[in-house]
Amino acid sequence: MMKSSPAATLRSNRVATAVLCLMISVMLILSAAPYAAADTQSGQRPVIFTTEAEIERAIRRVAERQEPFYGSWLKTKAVADAALTKTYVPEQSYHHETYFGKARPQAQDARSLALAARITGDARYADKAREILRLWARDAIDGEYPGWGSPHQMGLVIGRVIPIFGDTYAMLWSQLPAAERTLMEQWFRKMAEATMISRNIFRYETHTCDYGTCRYRGEPGTYLGGNYFSNHLSAHNLGLLAIGAMLRDSAMIQEQLDSGKNDKDLRELINGAIVMPDDLGGGVANGDLYKGDPTYTAGAPMPEPGEIWDRSRTTQGHGLHYTFLHLQLLVLQADIAKNNGSRDWFTYVGPRGENLELPFKLYDDFLMTADPGARTGYYVASNIDYNLVTLYELAHREYRRNRDARQVLESFDRARFINDHQTFGWTLPLTDGLDDLAVSEHLYPASGKSSWTFDQDGDFEAVTVRKAPATVAGGALNLTVNQDDPGVVTPDLLGLPTADYGQVEVRMRNQTADTQLVIYFSTDDDPVIDGVKRATITVTANDAEYQTYLIDLKQNPKWTGRIRQLRIDPVQGTSTGTVSIDSIKVVG
């Protein structure tokens, strides 16, 4: 008989340990006292995000063609009209990201259909939304938990998708026969079970498994080795809170908001996920940041009041994305709580001054300047996610005196720019936006910046670098190429008219074996950088000298309107070496 190798035995033990932990999680779910049965007798519909008062106001705004809300309606209606002709296929995918990639846009389509049905009274919209809900409910009830291949991550995606489906269900609740309501409730309860498994993995387990690969993450109670206030935990809470609201289960709602049964309820999440600096009595000295935060490990700047715990992801270029995402998860919980008669968490102030208004006062600078190096420079390597702009509708609704929220909303075209791809799509100005703001004449606050010269050591001039370590020194942006497809991304919101600009000049020294330079672009009307909007030229390989390359973008038919952002990939292949960029200029 052949003996197993020590490595194989270790892997086997880890898998067995992880499986045992998952079984314990399931047992904890099944042995816990069940939540109360749904309240189906009161006659009042459940409410998630969209209230009856907001729907009535939206109907009035549409009838009066009041801007910018009517523009928001036209965008929403276009989504709903397109959805009428689509075929929807649900999938409770084993891969959590695949599930999220399919479920989120289908949930958003269903929600846009439901709102269109309520505003117009057109049964076609309601029927299509109900069809999507039924398809997903039946598929979920009959299948495995979505994202089961990575159980500690499945609650993250479920918690971000189910509230969108839930808002659809809630808006159409009065039109649903009893059998459909029962079907939906079975679906929501199963998603609550899956989310609780993820929550318990964070709380109690020592290992996580991703698609068959398991690893040790820390002792029980350490939240997988220090993830004490990860956005995952807010996603769990959001999903369970939305399910509690859909079932109109007051005990379940309260458990997610403020309860001794839940050590990561909304109160604790606000207290911990919103970071305060040392001089306000907390911060790094009290261990509030993630153990791998660059403030600990690389001497990065101390946090400012109102930063979000996930800031540490800036080392991967995602610090602003994850802080904005986590802020949204917190605000959505507060919105559901307010709509269900709980205390007003928008006015809650934690023991060290933590509150939901602070982040909006801080992160607006990044949105207004398109500069990830703004303020302390901590996020200089991060990309800016403009999805957060839409959330300022809620910030202004709750904090009328907040000049930062007002400035953001008055600087962007609220109907055409604000598309929340996380939750609300184009709808939020229409339902939640207030009419006490000036209407912007421009899509966004364009910087008009057209050149980057890298003359000052350490100054990236608001560009970000992808897939390559980089420095600014010796009058150049220096990239160490160690993988395929490195790139330099300019700030967003350039606003350069194509009538005045048609070429990009790149002066660089290519000390790799690759010979292809590619420039991608986005426009106001087509804001996603993709393979259609690009131009390519040949450059000199293994060059000891700087060369100036001129790339003509006018030949691309997509080069129209205004240019919003550029991405310069100086080399394409997997060859190693260095590339030094002396300057990038957009010229006529």
Beta bridge partners of 478: 471, 580
> Is residue 409 in some structural domain?
no
Residue 553 contacts residue 561 (beta carbons within 8 Å): no
Four-CA torsion 173, 176, 179, 181, nearest 10 degrees: -10
Question: DSSP alpha helices (H): ranges in 315-425?
Answer: 319-339, 358-369, 392-398, 403-411
> Is residue 86 in some structural domain?
yes
In the three-class reduction of DSSP (H, G, I as helix; E, B as strand; rest coil), residue 266 is classed as: helix
CATH number at residue 486: 2.60.120.260
> Is residue 525 in some structural domain?
yes
Which 8-state DSSP code applies to residue 382?
S
Q: Measured in Å, how far apart are the chain's first and last C-alpha atoms?
A: 76
Interatomic CA distance for residues 289 and 242, integer angstroms:
28
> Is residue 43 in some structural domain?
no
Beta bridge partners of 425: 420
Q: How many CA atoms lie within 13 A of 177 on its CB side?
A: 3
Residue 547 contacts residue 476 (beta carbons within 8 Å): no
Residue 544: CB partners within 8 Å, gap ≥ 6? 509, 511
Which 8-state DSSP code applies to residue 442?
S
175, 192, 227 - which closes a domain: 227
200, 227, 254 - which closes a domain: 227
Q: Which structural domain, as residue segments, surrounds residue 58?
A: 10-34+50-227
- What would the DSSP string read from start to end of 1-25? -PPPPHHHHHHHHHHHHHHHHHHHH
pLDDT by position in tens, the chain (length 588): 333 332 332 234 344 444 444 544 444 444 344 444 445 445 699 999 999 999 999 999 999 999 999 999 999 999 999 999 999 999 999 999 999 999 999 999 999 999 999 999 999 999 999 999 999 999 999 999 999 999 999 999 999 999 999 999 999 999 999 999 999 999 999 999 999 999 999 999 999 999 999 999 999 989 999 999 999 999 999 999 999 999 999 999 999 999 999 999 999 999 999 999 865 555 566 667 898 999 988 989 999 999 999 999 998 889 999 999 999 999 999 999 999 999 999 999 999 999 999 999 999 999 999 999 999 999 998 989 898 999 999 999 999 999 999 999 999 999 999 889 999 999 999 999 999 999 999 999 999 999 999 999 999 999 999 889 999 999 999 999 988 789 999 999 999 999 999 999 999 999 999 999 999 999 999 999 999 999 999 999 999 999 999 999 999 999 999 999 999 999 987 778 999 999 999 999
Q: Which of 380, 372, 377, 436 is nearest to 405 (CA)?
A: 436
Q: Which two tokens stand for residue 333?
A: 């919980």
> Is residue 360 in some structural domain?
no
Domains of the chain: total? 2
Tokens 């602003």 label which residue? 320
Q: Which of 526, 523, 502 is nearest to 565 (CA)?
A: 523
- Taking the model in full, what pTM does it have? 0.91
> Is residue 218 in some structural domain?
yes
Residue-level pLDDT at 418: 82
202, 227, 252 - which closes a domain: 227
> Is residue 314 in some structural domain?
no
Residue 30: CB partners within 8 Å, gap ≥ 6? none
> Is residue 431 in some structural domain?
no
Q: Which of 371, 356, 361, 228 is nearest to 304 (CA)?
A: 361
Residue-level pLDDT at 27: 46
Beta bridge partners of 472: 477
Residue 512 contacts residue 577 (beta carbons within 8 Å): yes
